[in-house]
Structure 1
Amino acid sequence: MAKLKEDILMDVRPRDLLKKLSLQDQKVELDIQVPDNFYQTMLEQLLERDYLNYTSEKIFQPESARRAKKIHWLQITRLPIHPNENESYDLLSRWQGVLSSLHAWDYRLIFLLLRNQGETKLFLGTVSSRQEVAAEEAIEQIREAAFGSMPGMGLRTLDEKKAVDEVNLPLLDMNYIGAVTGIPSFRENEKKGMLQTLDQLAFGIRDMYGTEKDYAMLVIADPIRDQEISDIISRYRRLGSQIHTGVRLTAGQSLSRGESMSEQGGVGMGISILSTVLGAIGGSMLGGIMGRSIGMMMGSQIGGMLNKQKQASVSGSASTNQEYLDKFAEYAEVVTDHHVARLNEGRNLGFWNTGVYVLGTSPRDVVTVTGMLRSVYSGDTTYFEPIRLHLFRPDSNALQIVRNRFELLPMAERASRPSETEKEKGAVREEQRAEENWHIFGRVYQYLSTPINTRELSLATSLPRRDVPGLRFVKTAVRFANNPAVIRGDRITLGNIVDTGIIQNTTYDIDVNSLVRHALVAGGTGSGKSTTCKRILSEVIRRDIPVMVIEPAKDDYVRWAIEQNRHLPDEKKFTIYMPGVSEVDGTPVEELRINPYEPAAAPGAKVDLLQHCENFVTLLNACLPSEEVVPILIEEVVDETIRDFAERNDCDYDAGITEPLPKYPDIDRMLEKARDVMKHKSYANMNRDNLTEVLLTRFKSLRRGMRGRILNVPKSTDYHKLFSGNAVINISRLAGSKDKSLVMSLLMQALYEYRMSRYTNDPEYRARAQKNSLCHLTLVEEAHNVLLKPQVQKSSGSPQQAAADLFDNLLSEVREYGQGLVVVDQVPTRLIEGAVKNTNYKIVHRLTAPDDQEIMASCMALRDDQKYIIPALEKGNAIICGDEDDAAAWVKMPAPGQDVR
């Protein structure tokens, strides 16, 4: 058998196929033709509006010869700010709310900052584009929008005459005009609103000689409706799509080559041999014909099994490409996306076609003001349409259009109007229409103005944040409780709730009987605290509850009581006590008499002489400077004086509760008893004489001057009449605070004794007091004169200390007897602690001292921002908090003669 041929092994590599394909040998010419300045021109002229740089020499023509629409004006007289966090107060967002409301109503906004004769005035003008909206309604809606977004904002409506005098006439003196175009943007890395406000512009500019310059900044903003905004967005997007096709250009060429190869080999030629052999073997067994058939079949199969075939196919390619990136087109695409985002934001809060114009008395002033505006408007993204400054020639007609008509400056010449014949024939040329709408983005871009959204407009008209002459800032942007406690019983309405400076319809009421737990009224001179107190007193009197006023200074309540007596019935008339005065404006007044030894008691009630004298001794030791053994001697003299006097009237002094004496010893009797007591002392003669002189000197001081007229009397004023009827006690004629404190201490002691006696001996009175009802109200005006926080000094008496201790105990205990107290003072830090801590209602008018603000804010649990409203409160406004309130409330009290809203 022939030897079988070996299998063929194929070795074909890709590099063999590319041996003849060399890129060095293949020269591909890529000829890409790209315009050199097409996208650059489109970017600068169309998107960045570079054509605005060439408008200063332009002569403008008004779009319409029709009479300009009448503008209605509001003056911004005050702006609300936070009392202590002015920088962080989001005045900008609130102003955006006002602008957004105006856009929703389709109102043209005219914002005018007028600097004239050293004063800055802000005006808002408007005219509605809707014929069905009256001008007066538009003005009222602006007012409502301003009050809703910026509570506390002050607006003054100008009638036609005032508008001419305050707006039109000052503008007529400004004969030079310029403009500012470009997109204002914020500087995000700086605090919100910082530096980007009109503060410097509102403050004014001066020349080198200090002369004030008059100028005006005028912003005219026409609202753009949503349909037009959507159309502009579509135009930007279509332009962006076209620009995108030109951002990258690519050219290339490729070459490829492939080869394939196949070979086969086998043992097919052995078929015949094998068939012959098998045929011979089979012929002997099966016969020749069958043997040959089987042999042929098997030989074929074997031959097929031994046949073998291999194939290889290899291909390769090479290409070369060239890409052109147009940076101008790429940036133009970014700009279109940015403007689409701005326009979408305008669909949220509003989009405006806005012109910013500057008027001045000289070209230099206009250039200065426009430069200042550029520094305000330039922000992080202003480069998309940079800020440009324009100064127009005097004959440009810009003054007539802006100053006289308050309209935007049109960029194109007004197209000629077709004649009536042409109108009838419909012969308005298409090119004329194209001329009227020549800008690719629509008519809003055909003015010397900038289409901006509400957020950007709020920056263009950014409100000042500093006080300037003519513009007042009020620190009212603070929230207080709007829902005071509901009073279900007999209530006194003090005033209306105020929130962020806006007076609400909700009233603040107090329960009459809650005054039994006392009240503290604090406030500076002229803050309105006396008006508040008189309102409380009048309401209490109207409920047949007697009141008493202790007035250490002035005669305000004396005159008020005289006025009240003119319409009060006889049983409710005030009794006026004023030592040192016999009459006030023809009205007789009574003398006040206080015998220090006489206890105060209800008619027919017994008295506690022992307890009363112990209190009197404490008072004298505190009021009269003394040291070493003198306080003990004073106590002995007082005790012996009243004991001797009681025994002479058949009264058991040591029994404590006794019948009242028909009369009591006076200061003269105490002097005699002092000499008698000292005679029986076994001191050395010199010491005895010295101590006797010390005692006599101190006791004699009690009978000198006005205090002697009050204290050195055999019988006190009728305490029942004093403490059960309406009364005013004025001790302003007393010389100094020590004398006033001494008299006040005795009055407070007498008041406490009388209330306790009345409670003990009058069942009807006691029943009312046990129900926590108010039975009597005492008001202490200018309480620091008599309730001064004591300055304790070693070995020295302090009349203020005695009054402080007595009043502290009185506040804690006297309410059990139906007695209410109202403490009134200008300086709460000088009062004893009990006056602040043991009073239910705290009524705080304006206080200027930080320590006074702090102590009152602390006792009312005010937040830090609420605390800083106290020095900014206007007259008649107060912060009030009671034990039934969840939080303090800001309340506006009605003026005298007025009722609560």
Structure 2
Amino acid sequence: MSETVVLRKKDDDVLEVVPTNEIIENEPKSIVPEYEKLQAGLVEANKLVDDIILKKYLHNLTDLEIIPLDDSLKKISDIRLFRITEMVYQNNEYSTYKFASVFNSVQNLNCGVFIVVDSNGQKTDFYMGVRSLDDKRTTKSLKDTLKNALCGQFPGVKTEDLLDPVAEEFLGNIATKNITSVSCVAKNKDKEFKDNETFIQGLEKLALAMQGQKYTAIVLAKSADSAQLEETRQAYEMIYTQLSPFANMQMSYGRNTALNISDAFSHGTSIGSSHSVNSSIQKGKSNSKGTSKNHSTTKSDTLGALAKSIGTAALGVASLVTAPLEGVASVAVAGAIAVGQMGLSAYNPKTKSDGTGTSENSTVNENTTQGETETETKNESENETHTKGITTGKSDTMQLTLQNKSLLNTLQRIDEQLKRIDECESIGMWECAAYFLSDCQETAEMAAGTYKALMKGEKSGLETSSINFWGKQNANKLPILRDYITNFIHPVFEYHSDSISVPVTASSLVSSNELAIEMGLPRKSVCGFPVIEHADFGKEVVQYNKKLHSKDFCLGKVFSMGAETETEVNIDCNSLTMHTFVTGSTGSGKSNTVYEILNQLRNVYGIPFLVVEPAKGEYKNVFGQFPDVNVYGTNPKKTTLLRINPFRFPEDVHVLEHMDRLVEIFNVCWPMYAAMPAILKEAMEKAYEAAGWNMGTSVNSKSNKYPNFADLLEQIEIVINESKYSADSKGDYSGALLTRVRSLTNGLNSLIFCDDDLSDKELFDKSVIVDLSRVGSTETKSLIMGILVMKLNEYRMSSGRINSPLAHITVLEEAHNLLKKTSTEQSTEGANLLGKSVELLANSIAEMRTYGEGFIIADQSPGLLDMSVIRNTNTKIILRLPDKSDRELVGYAAGLDEDQIEELSKLKRGVAAVYQNDWVEPVLVQVNKCTIPEIIYDCSEEVKKTDYNSVRTQIVKLLIQGRVSEKYTILLEEIEKGLDSLGLSTLNYEFVEEQIIEFKEKGELSIWKDDNFRKLSRRITDILGVRAKVENIVVTAMDNEELTEKLGRVVELCINSPSEPLKIALSQCFMKDMSTQQEEREMREKIYLNWFKSVVERSRGL
């Protein structure tokens, strides 16, 4: 078969025939690299990516050599740390961002920050500190910046600085027999779990999991500057650029068929004068056919070039010395330079091609020439050419794209890293790792595993997470590691990979938000580290209508997030006329709060006060030491006796008006039902009438005499007996009313409720403390409190001026005794008397504000108080309240939200939530400690204590003188002086007055006569108040002898040192009075006569 040839231009116009094979061999080489070479570059690139992008070298740090720490970096003066003794958070806040702000405060100051968690097996201590990395700033300024940022983000956090010797000793005692490192990127486990309540990645989880273990954890982060951040960005971008062309591979398959046909014809004629004729015919035909196939595979092997490129990027010996301060980002930069220098030649992809070609040519030539020549040489020529070509072609092509998934994932990781770098540009980048040290290998590994598990989140796999351990098998490396870790510098390892050698550390690049997770302090309390959440209150008092130049006093300073600030809280004095409510549990500082208010008002503005204290009796120990403060109580041995007459009222008040108020007081203090209020009111009206009062004109026709409980007792008995109630009802009413009223006419009550009472000016215009703490009956306490409030109200109405500024303050301690919570429901027997009465009493308190009277209502149980009392007070001071219902009751009344209400249960002693109606928001206040020392109150010896038995003894001796053989010295002046203090009924009081007048005039009394013995017996029994006792003795005595003995004891209780004749005389009076009672009168007469006969016979026998 002949060789295929083609024509090729040789010179300007010369063509030459050249074989086809020669042309193919001499064609230029293809620009597509060989497949093998491309594959080699990609493999080497992937290996570099593992080291630089994924940092898989972190898995093998244990096997790497450690570069010793330079001695110049081992200085305690470059380290400052402080212990955090108490952590404070705001309720429901996302604290991670706050921690990020704390660390950002020193991010650009070229320093390291660290958290130290130190456990001795029983409690866990937490430390925070800084490590200076240059001389531009002092370590103290760095520490102060970090500490102030922590206190600014978390107000109330408590810290304790460690001096250099203490810090050095602490660091020297850290166990380092076993060391583990944790390298990871912290991420949130769930984006929804952000607040402290749901956050599950706090270091408290580590502390709880490691309870009982001795270990030290150090989480260390070194700041990265903007230049380092930019270099890291460029490194990642360069690596991405070089790898991206090989993420996709394309393969093409093609087939082509072509057919060409060409036909040409030429004709020529020549005529000359020579006239010669010639003829020639020439035909030619040629055929050629060729087929070719080719197969090629190319691969570029550039390992040598790669190694050379990486070698130029190695940092060298000098870089190893400065590596502790330059950081891990140099690894990425070095790798990027290596990849960049390799270029496309180092990373050409593998190429494979297959081809088949077929060609066929056919050529037919035919020439015909005729000529005639004459001698004259005349020529004529004619040519004609015909060419025809036909080409038919067919082509098939198939192209496939192959994606390198491994490389695509690597590029995606680089994209994610670039996003993290964008975040770091905004909030800062750090090189962070955690180290765990312990004498026990198991403890160190357990702590590292627990920490790593806590930190791992949704996208923590961007970089390799690893744990490395050094123990006995690496004992020679432990001292070097200790030098690094206790000086708070990341240990530097020398990493070799084929021809590359760079310093690396265990740290990972993290943003400030990620660092806040890795180094965030516990969100919950652990043993040794209390964590407290506080609600947010106002940072200062903001009023809607602030008054200028108002009289005010400082209650205390603003308390925010567990710490006292320097902002004062001042209370306008005149705002107290709208009344104040103070509440708090036992020991919360409620009493001190009231002490401070009273002390400020008394010392600064001279405002007097009245304190009604039904419990504890502590006010007298604080204020009783001052000469201008009077103390009254119910025990004459401890204080001056309180003396009040509930039936007395100011001249400006009508008797019926006063009587209605007094009945309401009884309705509050005593359980009243059915007709009892009506009976009480009717009896009270008759008592006033018996004392000489005209109920219409409110004028006493006899004298300025007021009834007392003895009068009321007599009238109740009369009203009940004269009523048409059934015997059962009479018995019920008698048992309910007579018993209670009688209890007020004997014992200490008879001394308190007397005619010789204290004036209203003594009680309400001076500073007075009324101590009711020794009264056993709750009803009696309530009654005294109610009577004092009623008398104060009437006194202010009759003597005060309308719209007056604060002139007097009244403190009602344990106010629920008087202003008790009542049901709003109606009973089946009538109206809700208790509720109505409390309402009227509360309204009277509210109305007293116009007279310059301010009330401080204090109670530790707001749930027991009438709601109107809490609602109608302008100033509310709420101390610690553990009970939820109490908190909600007063909290909503003070405008607190739910978090603030919950905060009330956690307030420390002396801290109160304070709110006034014209304040924009409530504030927490650390109330000032009252500076008055407590001194046990001792009643002044100058106070004259009345001997009430002596007065009664003189009265009885005066009345009985004529019926005994003994002669007594009657002290009429003592009787006249002490008569008002005995609480005698009006009838008995007037009777004694008449006897004194008669004795002065005649020297004897008509009552001594036998005809008047019945009257005498009744009066003596009433004056001594022994009728009920005698009735009981008569019923219980077994015989006359026992009866006589018991009657003698009664006499001894009422009379000072009675003689035997006086005992017999008074016992006869008692028995005579007993015999004159209407009920079973005949039987009583027999008992009396029988007893009298036995006494006579006994006296004759003697």
- Report the TM range for the smaller structure's normalisation: 0.7 to 0.9
Cα distance between partner residues in 1 of 2:229 and 2:530:
37
Cα distance between partner residues in 2 of 1:592 and 1:381:
78
1:388 paired residue number: 466
Structure 1 residue 132 displacement after superposition = 3.6
Superposition map of 1:435-834 within 5 A: 438-439=501-502, 446-480=504-538, 482-485=540-543, 486-488=546-548, 489-501=550-562, 503-541=564-602, 542-563=604-625, 565=626, 573-583=628-638, 589-599=639-649, 601=650, 605-620=651-666, 623-625=669-671, 627-647=673-693, 652-656=694-698, 662-675=704-717, 696-711=738-753, 713-759=754-800, 766=801, 769-770=802-803, 772-790=804-822, 804-834=838-868
SS at match of 1:55: helix
1:175 paired residue number: 177
Structure 1 residue 814 displacement after superposition = 1.4
Structure 1 residue 244 displacement after superposition = 1.4
Structure 1 residue 317 displacement after superposition = 4.7
Cα distance between partner residues in 2 of 1:518 and 1:685:
48
Distance 1:479 1:102, change over 3 A: farther
Cα distance between partner residues in 2 of 1:180 and 1:356:
5
- C-alpha deviations, 1:325-358, integer Å up to 9, x for none? 3333322222222222222322221111222101
Structure 1 residue 43 displacement after superposition = 3.2
- C-alpha deviations, 1:777-819, integer Å up to 9, x for none? 1111222233221368766999976872443122332112221
SS at match of 2:905: helix
2:133 paired residue number: 129
Superposition map of 1:406-445 within 5 A: 406-412=488-494, 438-439=501-502
Structure 1 residue 469 displacement after superposition = 0.9
- C-alpha deviations, 1:423-455, integer Å up to 9, x for none? xxxxxxxxxxx99x944xxx6xx1122222212
Q: Does the Cα contact within 8 Å between 1:524 and 1:846 map onto a contact in 2? A: yes
Considering Cα pairs closer than 8 Å and 6+ residues apart, tell me whether 1 or 2 has the greater RCO: 1
Distance 1:728 1:262, change over 3 A: farther
Which letter does structure 2 place at the counterpart of 1:632? A
Q: Does the Cα contact within 8 Å between 1:745 and 1:802 map onto a contact in 2? A: no
Superposition map of 1:249-260 within 5 A: 249-250=249-250, 252=252
Structure 1 residue 643 displacement after superposition = 1.2
Structure 1 residue 377 displacement after superposition = 1.8
Equivalent position to 2:85, from 77, 81, 97: 77
Distance 1:164 1:578, change over 3 A: farther
Which letter does structure 2 place at the counterpart of 1:110? F
Distance 1:700 1:121, change over 3 A: same
Q: Does the Cα contact within 8 Å between 1:493 and 1:509 map onto a contact in 2? A: yes
- C-alpha deviations, 1:373-408, integer Å up to 9, x for none? 121122222222232111113412254224533321
Cα distance between partner residues in 2 of 1:454 and 1:695:
78
Distance 1:677 1:225, change over 3 A: closer
SS at match of 2:569: strand
Q: Does the Cα contact within 8 Å between 1:251 and 1:322 map onto a contact in 2? A: yes
SS at match of 1:177: strand
Structure 1 residue 162 displacement after superposition = 3.8
Q: CA RMSD in A?
A: 3.5
1:56 matches 2:62: yes
Q: Does the Cα contact within 8 Å between 1:61 and 1:413 map onto a contact in 2? A: no
2:305 paired residue number: none
Cα distance between partner residues in 1 of 2:85 and 2:828:
57
1:200 matches 2:208: no
- C-alpha deviations, 1:206-258, integer Å up to 9, x for none? 5xxxxx11112111111111111111211111111111133234465767677
Which letter does structure 2 place at the counterpart of 1:388? S
Distance 1:855 1:232, change over 3 A: same
Which letter does structure 1 place at the counterpart of 2:489? E
- C-alpha deviations, 1:2-37, integer Å up to 9, x for none? xxxxxxxxxxxxxxxxxxxxxxxxxx9996332373
Name structure 2 gaps, 5 residues minimum.
Answer: 1-29, 265-386, 933-1102
Superposition map of 1:255-270 within 5 A: none
Structure 1 residue 591 displacement after superposition = 1.3
Cα distance between partner residues in 1 of 2:64 and 2:428:
30
Distance 1:700 1:257, change over 3 A: same
Distance 1:110 1:681, change over 3 A: closer
Q: Does the Cα contact within 8 Å between 2:65 and 2:493 map onto a contact in 1? A: no
1:236 paired residue number: 236
Distance 1:658 1:141, change over 3 A: farther
Q: Does the Cα contact within 8 Å between 2:875 and 2:917 map onto a contact in 1? A: yes
Q: TM-score, normalised by structure 1?
A: 0.78
Name structure 1 gaps, 5 residues minimum.
Answer: 1-27, 207-211, 265-308, 415-433, 584-588, 760-765
SS at match of 1:753: helix
Distance 1:896 1:374, change over 3 A: same
Superposition map of 1:23-42 within 5 A: 32-33=35-36, 34-35=39-40, 37-42=43-48
Which letter does structure 2 place at the counterpart of 1:355? A
Q: Does the Cα contact within 8 Å between 1:126 and 1:139 map onto a contact in 2? A: yes
1:864 matches 2:906: no
Which letter does structure 1 place at the counterpart of 2:86? R
Distance 1:800 1:533, change over 3 A: farther
Distance 1:487 1:256, change over 3 A: farther
Which letter does structure 2 place at the counterpart of 1:779? V
Distance 1:30 1:325, change over 3 A: farther
Distance 1:754 1:48, change over 3 A: same
- C-alpha deviations, 1:37-69, integer Å up to 9, x for none? 334423323321222222224453423122513
- C-alpha deviations, 1:614-661, integer Å up to 9, x for none? 3223433554455554443332222111112125xxxx4421377996
SS at match of 2:246: coil
Cα distance between partner residues in 1 of 2:121 and 2:586:
34
Q: Does the Cα contact within 8 Å between 1:353 and 1:449 map onto a contact in 2? A: yes
Cα distance between partner residues in 1 of 2:389 and 2:553:
112
2:414 paired residue number: 336
Structure 1 residue 136 displacement after superposition = 2.4
SS at match of 1:216: strand
1:294 paired residue number: none
Structure 1 residue 758 displacement after superposition = 0.8
Which letter does structure 2 place at the counterpart of 1:73? L
1:375 paired residue number: 453
SS at match of 1:665: coil
Q: Does the Cα contact within 8 Å between 1:256 and 1:318 map onto a contact in 2? A: yes
Structure 1 residue 180 displacement after superposition = 0.7
Structure 1 residue 111 displacement after superposition = 0.8
Cα distance between partner residues in 2 of 1:895 and 1:689:
55
- C-alpha deviations, 1:816-842, integer Å up to 9, x for none? 222111111112121112211111111
Q: TM-score, normalised by structure 2?
A: 0.64
Distance 1:50 1:316, change over 3 A: same
Cα distance between partner residues in 2 of 1:552 and 1:263:
138
Which letter does structure 2 place at the counterpart of 1:175? K
Structure 1 residue 260 displacement after superposition = 9.0
2:246 paired residue number: 246
Report which stretch shifted further, 458-467 or 550-559.
458-467
